[in-house]
Structure 1
Amino acid sequence: MSGCGKVKAWQVPLRLVTGAFILHSGMEKWDGPDEQAQGVHGMARQTFPFLEDIDAPKFLKLLAAGEIAIGAALLTPMVPSRLAGAALTGFAGSLMAVYAQTPGLRKEGSVWPTPDGIGVSKDSWLLAIGLALTLSPHQKHLKHVKHAGHLKHHGGHHKHHCRHEQGGHPGHHGHLKQAKQVAKEAKEAKRLAKDVKGLSQDGHSHHHAHRHGPGHARKGCPAHH
């Protein structure tokens, strides 16, 4: 049942058990005796007065057909769980309305059943199962939430990576700052060495001109040999 992709694993036992139970109940009512038809119809028409216009045997057939359809829907994997759950919720809600309106099924001033009402009160479990199936998240919604969570995680990882590259990581900030300082000092030392060399050459030329005169050729000076 779960292989079709529409039924989640936790829904399988709910659909399987309730579907089989309701299907079996409907098949038994289909050929039910007149006594059963009169009893079921009598309880139903107290809660739903419009059923007075329907004969008891016909009503039992209609009820049986409805139960068979709901049971088959729950047992069919192609039927979405939310759709099958909605049908089960409506059916179980009607049964609980009969339980609430029929005298003798509940203790006076209480929601708890009398011995005669225990069988009908247990249909509250069907109502709970129907609501659980109806309110279950849609498969597309779950995929969207999962995809959004993946994007959020990827975005956080990308942000951390960018901070790491920009030196925002506290473990590397000191090393980068120290490397920049060393490079700056090396560049300054190189510039100073260049300036010293230039000053040295200018000083030698000035001393030569002062000693031999400005017209003296530096090429013939022994200081250049």
Structure 2
Amino acid sequence: MNLTHAPLRAATGAFILNSGLTKLGADETTAQQLHGFASTAYPQFKDIEAGRFVKMVGIGEVALGTALLTPKVPSAIVGTALAGFGVGLLGLYARVPGLRQPGSIRPTEDGVPIAKDVWLVGAGATLGLQGFLNGTKRAARRTARKVGSAAETAHDALPF
């Protein structure tokens, strides 16, 4: 993990981990509300029992939050997961009626708590891209050193 990623990973990781732990302790009323909200945007969730659905979401959030807080998990991987999570939340914003002003992408008062999750997509994309590009640069440097070393060895082996 790049040290400059630590503040972003810590802030998002702690927030998402807390959200997941809260969902794991959700009561039936909260589970019904969250399930109904998600099922409006993603009808494929309608057939899943509300308590089970919220538990699955909670486990996913705990896993993502923990991965963000774990320095050994590469930023390219955890950033991609974070961006995907954020895109899923923005899907709620785009599909649930009443969250956007009519004919606009601007949020209503009710839509602001979901629309603000766009920062998750940006944070995830930043971590993912920087992690991938930094890894690519490191791999290129290692390859260049190996090629240089092999060329030097081959040169030294020449009989003349």
Q: TM-score, normalised by structure 2?
A: 0.83
Counterpart Cα distance in 2 of 1:41 and 1:141:
41
Q: Give the aligned partner of residue 68 of structure 1.
A: 62
Q: Give the aligned partner of residue 141 of structure 1.
A: 136
Shift of 1:76: 0.4
Q: Give the aligned partner of residue 36 of structure 1.
A: 30
Q: Give the aligned partner of residue 54 of structure 1.
A: 48
Q: Give the aligned partner of residue 18 of structure 2.
A: 24
Name the amino acid aligned to 1:96. Answer: L
| 3-state SS in 1 of match to 2:9 | helix
Residues 140 and 85 from structure 1, CA distance in 2 versus in 1: closer, same or farther, beyond 3 angstroms? Answer: closer
Counterpart Cα distance in 1 of 2:53 and 2:37:
12
Q: Give the aligned partner of residue 105 of structure 2.
A: 111
Residues 51 and 147 from structure 1, CA distance in 2 versus in 1: closer, same or farther, beyond 3 angstroms? Answer: closer
Which fold has the larger relative contact order, with Cα–Cα distance below 8 Å and residues 6 or more apart in sequence?
2
Residues 144 and 88 from structure 1, CA distance in 2 versus in 1: closer, same or farther, beyond 3 angstroms? Answer: closer
Residues 118 and 140 from structure 1, CA distance in 2 versus in 1: closer, same or farther, beyond 3 angstroms? Answer: closer
Unaligned runs of 5+ in 1: 1-6, 149-225
2:92 is aligned, of 84, 98, 104, to 98
Counterpart Cα distance in 2 of 1:17 and 1:138:
22
Alignment of 1:122-137 (within 5 A): 122-136=116-130, 137=132
Q: Number of paired residues?
A: 144
Shift of 1:146: 6.2
- CA shift digits 1:37-67 (9 cap, x unpaired): 1111111112211111101111010010000
Counterpart Cα distance in 2 of 1:109 and 1:8:
42
Tell me if 1:77 matches 2:77.
no
- CA shift digits 1:4-30 (9 cap, x unpaired): xxx112211110100000000000110
Residues 107 and 9 from structure 1, CA distance in 2 versus in 1: closer, same or farther, beyond 3 angstroms? Answer: same
Shift of 1:145: 6.0
Counterpart Cα distance in 2 of 1:63 and 1:19:
15
Counterpart Cα distance in 1 of 2:135 and 2:15:
30
Q: C-alpha root-mean-square deviation of aligned residues, in Å? A: 2.0
Larger radius of gyration: 1
Divergent runs of 4+, >3 A: 137-140, 143-148
Residues 147 and 52 from structure 1, CA distance in 2 versus in 1: closer, same or farther, beyond 3 angstroms? Answer: closer
Counterpart Cα distance in 1 of 2:30 and 2:103:
29
| 3-state SS in 1 of match to 2:6 | helix
